[in-house]
Amino acid sequence: MRTKNLLFALLMLCITACKYNDDALWDKVNSLDERIASIEDKLKSMNSNISSMSAIITALQNNVYVASVEYGSDGYIITFTDGTTAIVSNGKDGIDGTDGKDAPIIGVDVFEGKYYWTQTIDGNKSWLTGTDGNKIPVTGADAVTPQLKINSDGYWIISYDNGVTFTEIQNETGEPVKALGEDGTNGINGDSFFQSVKVEGNELILTLVDGEELRIQIMNLPEYIALNQNLGDKFDYAILGLDGSGYFYEFQEENSKLPKRLSIYDGIEEKITLIIDFDSEGLPKTILSEEFTIVLGQFEESKLNAVLITKNGETHLFENIETDVLWDEYKNGLLEEGTTRAVSRSPIKWINAVVSSVGCGLSIASAPTGVGIALAAISCSGALVNIADVAGLIEVSQGTAIGSTIIGHYANLVSCANAGTVLVCLTGIANNVTALGDLVYDLATDDINLGEGSLISGNGEVKMTLTWDDYSDIDLHCIDPSGYHIYYSDMQSTTGGFLDYDNVVAYGPENIYFNPAPEGTYKVYLHYYAENEGVSSVNYKVAIFKNNSGQVYEGTISGQGTIVDIATFTIGAQNASRSIWPTSTIDWCNLPSKN
């Protein structure tokens, strides 16, 4: 028994004595993993620098200028006049700009007047060559933008076909280059291919890590340029801004100095599109967007009225909006001044005045959720205000001294995608504006009629406006608190209510309004009086205003003789003494006939 215990003790002692300490091994593994992870974190920055270097060389060889240089969190953002951008990422050079111990340094150099890619490994610079042994060009039809990567064995590999295939990077002796994950001497990372970015006078100077300098001229571009050519079939004139905004005019056929439609792209923070339509005198009629419709009218001195209808049917009536535009002077300016000055100054001045007045008022007052904010974003944040000052506006047309690449720069900012030429680009924008404008008009037709209806007759404490979308005679009826029945056969009540017009053909509008409005309960009906042109069913909208804020009721009414209850509402005290409705009733079967 003692022998067995002794053997067991000796065995345990042996096991304890033979236990392996693997701390050093794990430290080595963890250190390697961290180094590889560190290199992989730099790959995105390095490949971004390679791509940016390609864009920089392309701009340099194509005589494209620098439009702006900004410093962001990720590095320098360079915007060129052809609309392209390059980001020179933040990073550190290898020692003296030549060590680059963490990774091969990708650069460029000139051979016989053309730029080719280079690599620098352990201070030794050589050409990057393809499988055929030829130098790899930076620009031209056979240009390639390399991509770096690390393979599963921890070696640097490079792609010349946008990441489809990769080959090992080799040093001067033909050996693969290990991704050591170590810092360059003195702890300098060597993960940037640029030593410095600086602006001297009108030049941007980019210095590569091997001392090669790339110099590109900076052009101080005007805030806006104006174009009158190559705008497609729909638009006659455009103003394009460096802030990404675009203003596209269609002129009236009868008078080319008067705008018929103005489409606005605001590209400062988000793409907001406004379509403005004008009447035969050049006065604005509507402002349309995907979110709202504004109908304008009753221009007098520097004031006007407006109705705003949101896409969810909430309606607001604004009376006596004060602007800084005298309307007679505005119209005279359109007719007397040259086309360029007229379209670039007067309508824009009006847009600022009206949209700012309506928009800012809504954002402060009880606007429907989101709508006031949207209008304020357009009008109150300065998005449209800047273009009012067009003293620096440059008039250009295709082929003028300012250059097509610069025109393309403005056009690209306005959101012209995948355009090979300025002509295609600007035509593309015009087509997009036209399509969107038509779409907005199609969607907003009933709202425009509704807004116009609310403006064409008298306004008061209570007003109801009816429109419909097709042929047929639809009638608006109202029983007021006294029991008086206002309709086509009795258009004025003893309590101050008025029906302005009996539309017997199509569309409306018809309006009933009270000013002042007697206290008590009101009842509103629709009646399908007669079918026209074979139409037996129409879609209707009724906006009922109370104290300049309205609600829209919509639906479909079908068949001659049909009655639809629209709304019942009370003004003032619920039990007002004059509120004798609903004891009054309508004999729908014995309504008077129309002549």
Q: Domain of 504: which CATH number? A: 2.60.40
Are residues 421 and 313 part of one domain?
yes
Secondary structure letter of residue 479 according to DSSP: E
Phi, psi of 463 (to 5 degrees): -150, 140
423 with 478, same domain: the answer is: no
Contact 454, 460 (CB under 8 A): no
Do residues 230 and 301 share a domain? yes
Q: Is residue 307 part of a domain?
A: yes
Distance CA 518, CA 522 (A): 10
Same domain for 480 and 435, yes or no, is no
95 close to 197: Cβ distance less than 8 angstroms: no
Last residue of one domain, picked from the residues 182, 217, 252: 217
* pLDDT for residue 289 is more than 50: yes
- Is the link from the previous residue into 259 a cis peptide, with omega within 30 of 0? no
Residues 495, 581: one domain? yes
Taking CA atoms, 244 is separated from 268, 384, 393, in Å, by: 6, 11, 15
Distance CA 393, CA 395 (A): 7
418: left (phi over 0), alpha (psi -120 to 50) or beta: left
Residue 19 within a domain: no
Do 207 and 123 belong together in one domain? yes
CA neighbor of 374 nearest in space, from 470, 233, 270: 270
CA distance 412 to 396: 16
Interval 499-507 mean pLDDT: 95
Query: How many CB atoms lie under 10 A from the CB of residue 430?
Result: 23
Residue with tokens 């005045």: 353
55-112 pLDDT, tens digit per residue, is: 999 888 888 888 888 887 778 889 888 778 888 876 554 334 334 445 688 889 999 9
Q: Is 140 helix (H, G, I), strand (E, B) or coil?
A: coil
User: Which of the listed residues 217, 236, 268 is the one where a domain comes to its end?
Assistant: 217
Q: What pLDDT, on a 0 to 100 scale, did the predictor assign at position 272?
A: 61
Domain stops at, among 411, 444, 477: 444
Q: For residue 571, what are the CA distances in angstroms to 170, 480, 524?
A: 88, 10, 14
At residue 388, does pLDDT exceed 50? no
- Which helix (DSSP H) or strand (DSSP E) does residue 28 occupy? helix 23-61
pLDDT at 579 over 60: no
Q: What is the pLDDT of residues 211-269, one digit of tens each?
A: 888 999 998 887 777 777 777 777 888 877 777 777 788 888 888 878 888 887 765 44
Q: Is 89 helix (H, G, I), strand (E, B) or coil?
A: strand
Same domain for 273 and 211: no
Provide the 8-state DSSP code for 101. T
The DSSP-derived string for 234-303 is T-SEEEEETTS-EEEEEE-SS-TTSEEEEEEEE-SSS-EEEEEEE-TTS-EEEEE-SSEEEEEEEEETTE
Q: Higher model confidence: residue 405 or residue 357?
A: 405
Max mean pLDDT range (1-15, 23-37, 544-558): 544-558
In a domain, 435, yes or no: yes
Q: What does pLDDT average to over the chain?
A: 76
Residue 172 lies in a domain: yes
Assigned domain for 6 exists: no
Highest averaged pLDDT of the listed ranges 130-144, 370-384, 536-550: 536-550
* 71 and 193 inside one domain: yes
Show the domain range for 408. 224-444
**Per-residue pLDDT tens over the stretch 117-162:** 998 887 788 899 887 889 999 998 889 999 988 887 878 889 998 8
Whole-angstrom CA distances from 300 to 333, 353, 360, 456, 593 are 16, 15, 21, 14, 39
Q: CB of 285 within 8 A of CB of 455? A: no
Asked if residue 150 and residue 76 are part of one domain, the reply reads yes
Structural domains in the chain (count): 3
Claim to verify: residue 302 and residue 350 sit in the same structural domain: yes
Segment 230-242, tens digit of pLDDT = 777 778 888 777 7
pTM higher than 0.95 for the full model? Answer: no
